[in-house]
Amino acid sequence: MEADVGNEQAFEDPTVNLLNDMVAELTGKEAAVYLPSGTMCNEIAFRVHCRQGDEIILDKTSHPLHWEAGGPAALSGAMCRPVEGIRGVFTAAQVHEFVRPKNKLMPRSALVSIENTAGGGGGTVWPIERVTEVAGAARAHNLAVHMDGARLLNAVVASGTPASAYGNLVDSLWIDLSKGLGCPVGAVLAGSKEFIAEAWRFKHQFGGAMRQAGIIAAAGVYALRHNIERLAEDHDNAKLLAEGLAQIKGIEIDPRAVETNIVFFGVSGTGLSTTDFSARLLSEHGIRIGAASPRAMRALTHLDVSRANIETTLRAIEKLTAQASQLA
């Protein structure tokens, strides 16, 4: 409420400027730009890196492919070429295989997009060595490299790899402030000075340029100062949930696959569909775990979920599965 504010479009909002400087430094980039959402970070980055008819190489579980309303096609005229990764992580060999040869009949490969952590893959951390190899493969073909870092700081805390080490390997990357970091709104996209100058064009064009945005950016400054290290608690809670779920009859899960704050699990052994499981957990126990697909439930831990909440959740799921098996 007490944030210093100004016109962010004129670079006159001191709080937005501070937040951008903090993210540029954190990610080892020259500059950064505050945006309303993570989706806008991806879509603006694609718009800068790609021309119409260009192709983006990304994992088959990636966010822009499934959850951005066709943004790459609608806003950049770009095609997406999904790669069959393992839990959202692919290889340099796959990049070499998927880059198009120079052929006027084919789309032109322009960008490799890496999602770290890979959300649809279950919160998988990209090891820095793998990013080095994949970015190297992209560069060998003159492709740009983008990192969707909605949960980059989860990867940083889980792996001990600094955000700037990832930043050094890619042309553009961003962090979401409104997920594990706990802010009400916002994300920050970072890159070279030239990249960010171009990103500003599309921030205006897409309607993401604001005025006294310091009032919301202040939460981002707070989160970067206070909420990064504590992401480890979310990871511990996710592990606790996964290990507890593995003890419950009818639940399918491999707790070793849980690296950060996302827990995917199956419920087919309970006789309930994922949508029924999700609906009953909410109506009977007040617990929200989404049905990600007919096969998988998707639970997330974050700063509003305590260790005690995890224990309550496990008891609720035990009760629900026991009731379901009695009826079956």
Residue ranges binding ligand PLP (CB under 6 A): 37-39, 42, 63, 115, 119, 148, 150, 176, 178, 187
- Residue with the CB atom nearest ligand PLP in the bound state: 38
CB-based contact 118:87 (threshold 8 Å): yes
Q: Which run of H or E residues covers position 233?
A: helix 231-246
Least distance CB 186 / ligand PLP (angstroms): 8
Beta strands 297-300 and 290-291: pairing type?
Answer: antiparallel
The helix (H) or strand (E) run that includes residue 232 is helix 231-246
User: Smallest distance from the beta carbon of 205 to ligand PLP, in angstroms?
Assistant: 17
Name the nearest CA neighbour of 119 among 80, 157, 153, 150: 150
CB of residue 116 vs ligand PLP: minimum separation in angstroms? 9
- The answer to whether 252 and 317 are in contact (CB under 8 A) is no
Query: Which of residues 263 and 324 has its CB atom nearest to ligand PLP in the complex?
Result: 263
Closer by beta carbon to ligand PLP, 13 or else 148: 148
Closest distance to ligand PLP from the beta carbon of 179 (Å): 6
Residue 61 vs 237, nearer CB to ligand PLP: 61
**Cβ 174 to ligand PLP, closest distance in Å?**
9
Look up residue 124 and give its DSSP letter: B
Map residue 265 onto helix, strand or coil. strand
Per-position b or e across 231-250, b if 16+ CB within 10 A of its CB: bebbbebbbbbbebbeebeb
14 or 82: CB nearest ligand PLP: 82
Separation between Cα atoms, residue 108 and residue 132, nearest integer Å: 23
Q: Which two tokens stand for residue 235?
A: 């990871």
Q: How far is the CB of 308 from ligand PLP (least distance, A)?
A: 26
Which residue, 122 or 266, has its beta carbon nearer to ligand PLP? 122
Q: How far is the CB of 39 from ligand PLP (least distance, A)?
A: 3
Edge-to-edge strand list for the sheet holding 290-291: 262-265, 297-300, 290-291
Distance between CA 88 and CA 61 in Å, rounded?
6
Q: Please say which residue, 39 or 227, places its beta carbon nearer to ligand PLP.
A: 39
Q: Which is nearer to ligand PLP, 119 or 214 (CB)?
A: 119
